[in-house]
């Protein structure tokens, strides 16, 4: 149990005070005490407090990168590059990842943000990863040569800090990065494993046991991405932190795409409700179009609803409060139907899913499809929203 002095400090949000004059948004987005007051009545108070302190320090130490309104960004995480063998999870989507990076994001001058767990050095020797995927690192070198690469470290590639001199791409390795868009709109990018006290303290031990004992016996180390309970706990902690700080947190780690703090089920419900509200005030022609979209979304919702025994797979990361759109997750690059990513361009943020043309598109009935010319790859835009609108909602709803 924390001392009364520390509890009072945490409840008063002194933990969340502005960290420096370089973070002017803190004055414009005052924190709410409701969520933190809830925390102190639970047995997990001390754990959550420790996570908040860790995230505070992570934010304080993160390098600041200003972005102009014309800059484009793509965020990828959790590629899990291995040795190219049958147990390499990256292998099945390798051509897709490298194809869209080489033929789309690189020529279109996107800044590539690699948000952790890119090389899976917890399961494979770094030398074997370099040997298996030379084309991938060559593409990264092209981004770096154009000053368009930012590399953030996760729990599976934390060992990269000790290999920084051997890394074949000239780039700095970061724990986190704070991007400042025009108007001081803060985007805080970090992998997300920092929300676990055990993983933060014992990741070296976890890596050793995984590489030399568990993985040789055929066990994969995806505890968080396969544990609904754990990923909800960790996402909720990060959500509360971002909410108090009035910023957008961009994470990976759980392999679960999140847009505006919502998993797929909540996102679909939100879209259906929004379209129903629009329906009454538009022309008959528009009503026909909206009715078709609502039917498509309802079909997606029925498919996305968790089956019995798996209710946590689409659980909300917030409780009964109005959702604050402060948490985004890029998903992962090892999905069965392709890869997911976050894009920022023209003042908007989008959740996109890249797939091969042979993949059945019926899983994305309401998506906006963009085939990549000269390739078998298709970009499906799943959600898109104006960043100014998102930050307005953060400012108004987080109070």
Residue 105 contacts by C-beta under 8 Å, 6 or more apart in sequence?
A: 74, 112
Classify 332 as helix, strand or coil. Answer: coil
Separation CA 169–CA 148 (nearest Å): 12
| H-helix segments, 168-227 | 197-209, 223-226
Q: Which of 173, 213, 164, 172 is nearest to 191 (CA)?
A: 173
What confidence category does residue 91 fall into, taking pLDDT thresholds of 50, 70 and 90? very high
- Mean pLDDT over 271-295 rounds to 84
Q: What is the DSSP letter of 60?
A: H
Confidence of residue 103 (pLDDT cuts 50, 70, 90): very high
State pLDDT tens for residues 340-381.
Answer: 999 999 999 999 999 999 998 888 878 999 999 999 999 999
Give yes or no for residue 25 having a pLDDT over 70: no
Q: In terms of Cα–Cα distance, which of 199, 255, 228, 190 is closest to 317?
A: 228
User: pTM for the complete prediction?
Assistant: 0.77
SS3 35: helix
CATH class of 61-261+320-397: alpha beta
Angstrom distance (rounded) from CA 330 to CA 26 = 25
Closest CA to 319 of 42, 50, 59: 42
Q: Is the pLDDT of residue 249 over 60?
A: yes
The residue written with tokens 């990168």 in the block is: 65
* Strand pairing category for 368-371 and 173-174: unpaired
Interatomic CA distance for residues 6 and 203, integer angstroms: 27
């Amino acid at each position: 149990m924390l001392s009364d002095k520390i509890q009072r400090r945490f409840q008063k949000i002194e933990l969340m005070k502005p960290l420096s004059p370089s973070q002017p948004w803190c004055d414009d987005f005052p924190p709410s005490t409701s969520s933190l007051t809830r925390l102190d009545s639970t047995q997990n108070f001390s754990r959550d407090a420790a996570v908040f302190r860790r995230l505070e320090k992570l934010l304080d130490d993160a390098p600041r990168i200003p972005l102009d309104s014309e800059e484009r960004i793509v965020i990828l995480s959790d590629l899990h590059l291995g040795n190219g063998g049958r147990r390499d999870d990256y292998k099945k989507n390798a051509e897709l990842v490298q194809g869209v990076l080489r033929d789309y994001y690189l020529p279109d001058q996107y800044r590539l943000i690699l948000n952790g767990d890119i090389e899976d050095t917890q399961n494979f020797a770094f030398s074997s990863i370099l040997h298996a995927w030379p084309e991938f690192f060559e593409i990264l070198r092209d981004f770096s040569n154009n000053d368009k690469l930012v590399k953030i470290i996760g729990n599976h590639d934390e060992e990269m800090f000790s290999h920084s001199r051997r890394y074949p791409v000239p780039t700095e390795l970061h724990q986190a990065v704070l991007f400042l868009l025009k108007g001081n709109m803060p985007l805080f990018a970090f992998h997300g494993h920092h929300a676990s006290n055990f993983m933060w303290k014992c990741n070296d031990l976890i890596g050793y046991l995984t590489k030399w004992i568990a993985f040789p016996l055929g066990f994969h180390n995806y505890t968080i991405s396969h544990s609904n309970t754990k990923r909800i706990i960790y996402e909720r902690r990060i959500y509360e932190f971002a909410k108090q700080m009035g910023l957008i947190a961009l994470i990976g780690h759980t392999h679960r795409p999140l847009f505006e703090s919502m998993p797929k089920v909540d996102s679909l419900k939100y879209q259906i409700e929004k379209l129903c509200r629009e329906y009454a005030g538009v022309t008959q022609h528009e009503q026909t179009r909206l009715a078709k979209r609502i039917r498509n979304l309802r079909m997606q919702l029925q498919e996305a609803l968790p089956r019995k025994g798996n209710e946590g797979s689409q659980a909300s990361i917030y409780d009964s409060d109005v959702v604050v759109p402060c948490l985004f997750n890029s998903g992962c690059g090892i999905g069965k139907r392709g890869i997911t990513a976050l894009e920022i361009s023209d003042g908007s943020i989008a959740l996109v899913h890249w797939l091969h043309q042979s993949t059945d598109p019926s899983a994305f009935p309401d998506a906006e499809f963009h085939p990549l010319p000269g390739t078998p790859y298709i970009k499906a835009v799943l959600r898109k929203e104006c960043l100014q609108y998102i930050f307005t909602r953060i400012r108004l709803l987080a109070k």
